[in-house]
Amino acid sequence: MSAPILPGATVGVLGSGQLGRMLAIAARQMGYGIAVYSPDRASPAGQLADREVIGAYDDVGAIAAFASTVDVLTFEFENISSAATDAASSATLVRPGGWVLHTTQQRAREKQWLAAHGIPTAPFAVVRTPADLQSAVAAIGTPAILKTASFGYDGKGQRRIDDPGVAGAAWDALGNTECVYEGFVDFTCEVSVVAARSARGAFAHHGVVENVHAQHILDVTTAPAAVPHNVADEAVGLARRILEALDVVGVLCVEMFVTREGRVLVNELAPRPHNSGHFSIDACVTSQFEQQLRAICGLDLADPGQHRPAAMANLLGDLWEGGEPDWARLAGLGDVKLHLYGKRDARPGRKMGHLTALAETGAAAAARVTAARALLRRSR
């Protein structure tokens, strides 16, 4: 095992969005330098970085050159090729390892890996041909969700299929590309576990949180989730099994469904900090971003304990449709925390920031944070 990477070293990030920005804040607090690589200039993370390197994600040579200037390299989103992470690994330490990214960045590989390791999921089949699709519909039935195997997030690249007769048209609409056909899960709630694993194999997690989506985008996270103890224990246990089997060094989020029978099914993996873990900045002893920094730098993990129940509400670009949100009204609320990501253009569905509220119960925190968000909207 390599020696710890101590404050004063430089952490490199492939990607420069809000996750990189919040990692940069944690890095600055702990005395690390930060360098980011992405195609974008004056990006959310680049605004706070010591160095912002502009380059394409498919420019393997440029990524290798960037990697040679940092002490450890991580990533904040999944759409980076194996060739790029391999090139980076030849120049510096990459955490989590490239195999983690390779497994989780493509739905078919991810689902097959989960199945091979005995992790419960919804029934699924990989679709590459019309015959595959016909077989999947016959075996799994409807309702079901057809998802592109690559480049899907926040509901993009998905079609719900209620009638077997429209499956072919749905596949056509998705571009006849490789897909995963998943049986629809009748769930009571969606939950996630954001967890970290150190270079020494230590495991820490931020509990089981409940996620509510709107238009396929995370809307509100409540921490902790209001689920029975046995369900929470099972969710955390699955997360631990996954991080250990993947040999993750860093942070990974496991998104899950809780069925009406109380079963926990794994939906997706994200090998990085996650939107549903943002509450940890204000509500926990150690945020998911500090934990990521500690893990990738080979330090011991810190206490992830939560001070009080909390809730996080996303601020999407839709909030700007009536003009600049009413920040003055929010400023009058001493118990709600504002986090903006430094994005210049507000577009519908674009994550521009988030709010966090703490309260005596998770339900009270969720009510508080959604009420605070409503105050920001100006009438047209």
The structural domains of the chain, ordered by start, are 10-94 (3.40.50.20), 123-183 (3.30.1490.20), 187-376 (3.30.470.20)
- What would the DSSP string read from start to end of 163-185? SGGGHHHHHHHTTS--EEEEEPP
pLDDT of 379: 66
pTM given for the model:
0.95
H/E stretch holding 135 reads helix 130-140
CB count within 10 Å of CB 204 equals 21
Is 83:105 a contact under the CB 8 Å cutoff? no
Q: How far is CA 6 from the centre of its chain?
A: 26
3-class DSSP assignment, residue 264:
strand
Mean pLDDT per 10-residue segment, the chain (380 residues): 92 97 98 97 96 95 97 92 92 96 95 98 96 96 94 74 94 94 96 98 98 95 98 98 98 98 96 98 98 98 98 97 93 95 95 98 98 87
Q: How far apart are alpha carbons 339 and 329 in whole angstroms?
A: 15
The closest alpha carbon to 301, from 231, 243, 344, belongs to 243
- What would the DSSP string read from start to end of 57-87? TT-HHHHHHHHTTSSEEEESSS---HHHHHH
The closest alpha carbon to 242, from 279, 210, 203, belongs to 203
Longest dimension (CA), the chain: 60
H/E stretch holding 20 reads helix 18-29
